[in-house]
Amino acid sequence: MPVEIDIEHVARLARLELSDEEKERLRAQLGLILEHAAKVGEVAAGDVPPTAYAIPRSNVFRPDESAPSLPREDVLANAPEVEDDRFKVPRIVEVE
C-alpha cells in the first residue's frame, strides 16, 4: 500500500514552496517510494544497534591554533543583499 503523507505539513517543515501540480505529483511518488523504503522495517530487530557513520570517529580535535579567516568581503560577495558588512534579510520581527 502506498504511504499517505501530509504534503502541506512536510513542505512547511522543509520551507519549500510547491505548486499544486508539484504537490499532487509528490504525493503519489513519495507514497510509492516510502512503500518500498518501509522494507527497512521487515528486518533489523530491536537488538541491532544503529549505524550513523560506517567508520565511527569521536572526539576529533585539531590543534587549537589561530589561523586567518576568509576575508569579510570575499564572504559577503555572494550574498543576495548586504548592508554595513552584514547579510540583509527581510524583517523577521514586527516593529511598532
Q: Which residues bind other proteins (CB under 8 A)?
A: 5, 7, 10-11, 13-18, 22, 26, 29-30, 32-34, 36-44, 48-55, 57, 60, 62-63, 70-71, 74-75, 77-81, 87, 89-92
- Residue with smaller CB distance to other proteins, 1 or 70: 70
Strands 86-87 and 82-83: antiparallel
CB 58 → other proteins: shortest distance, Å? 10
**One-letter amino acid for residue 23 of the chain:** K
- Residue with smaller CB distance to other proteins, 51 or 66: 51
DSSP state of 93: S
- Residue with smaller CB distance to other proteins, 42 or 84: 42
d(CA 56, CA 31): 33
Distance of alpha carbon 19 from its chain centroid, rounded? 20
Q: Are 5 and 30 in contact (CB under 8 A)?
A: yes
CB 78 → other proteins: shortest distance, Å? 4
